[in-house]
Amino acid sequence: MYIVVSLAILVTMVLALIRALKGPSVYDRVLAVNVFGTKTVLLLSVIAFLYGRPDFLDLALAYALVNMVGILAVLQYFQNRAKRNSRSHDD
């Protein structure tokens, strides 16, 4: 059963990668990367359960934190870039 769950998570990760590559907007791509990171955390958790390795859960939590901070940083960058572009067009 857990093998099927792992394969389903891998399929959704591939779909998220396709969305990240195709777009159409920057925010769609950022959301797809965030979904990919969340699915990675889920996959690490399932693997930890399958192999009886609770230390993988620590890795999953660390990856979740890095993913969250990274996504917030990317969104902040794009928000600041949009503000700079709108100010330069106003001049």
Question: 5 pLDDT band (50/70/90 cuts)?
Answer: very high
* pTM of the full structure: 0.82
For the segment 25-46, the average pLDDT, to the nearest whole number, is 93
What's the pLDDT score for residue 68? Answer: 94
CA atoms within 13 A on the CB side of 90: 6
For the segment 32-46, the average pLDDT, to the nearest whole number, is 94
Question: 40 pLDDT band (50/70/90 cuts)?
Answer: very high
Going along the chain from its start, the domains and CATH numbers come out as 2-86 (1.10.287)
For the segment 31-38, the average pLDDT, to the nearest whole number, is 94
Name 1's Cβ contacts closer than 8 Å, sequence gap at least 6.
none
As a whole number of angstroms, the distance between CA 12 and CA 4 comes to 12
| C-beta separation of 47 from 57 below 8 A | no
